[in-house]
């Protein structure tokens, strides 16, 4: 299901409660599986964009938002945080991480 910005956005679970505490009444519904996956992917792009625009002070908080969405995407795929970490570790063991700061310029 395709949706546009005008058709709402995925928000954290407590946002409706916080809106009510501020005196407004939110209009919400729970997305079905297909829409949820689509909206999570949109949310990942949104959170990554916010991280890329963040200054050094707000970058850790924005990165935590990215991680929250990544974990929700993993859970939707049936992968818990521990399994995701094991997959990451395996891939890092095979191909390395990014701590070496290596920039590839192509081959000769």
Distance between CA atoms of residues 108 and 105, nearest Å: 9
Q: At which residue do the structure tokens 């409706």 appear?
A: 16
Domains of the chain, residue spans: 33-95
The predicted pLDDT at position 5 comes to 46
The residue that leads in pLDDT, 1 or 13, is 13
Which pLDDT tens digit goes with each residue over 69-94? Answer: 999 999 999 999 999 999 999 999 99
Give the pTM: 0.85
Which pLDDT tens digit goes with each residue over 44-64? Answer: 999 999 999 999 999 999 999
Is residue 66 within 8 Å of 52, Cβ to Cβ?
A: no
């Amino acid at each position: 299901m395709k949706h546009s910005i005008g058709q709402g956005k995925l928000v954290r679970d407590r946002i409706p409660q916080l809106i009510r505490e501020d005196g407004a009444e939110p209009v919400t519904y729970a997305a079905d599986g297909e829409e949820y996956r689509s909206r999570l992917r949109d949310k990942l792009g949104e959170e990554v964009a916010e991280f890329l625009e963040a200054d050094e002070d707000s970058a850790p908080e924005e990165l935590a938002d990215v991680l929250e969405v990544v974990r929700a995407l993993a859970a939707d795929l049936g992968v818990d945080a521990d399994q995701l970490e094991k997959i990451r570790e395996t891939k890092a063991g095979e191909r390395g991480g990014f701590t070496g700061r290596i920039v590839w310029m192509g081959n000769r």
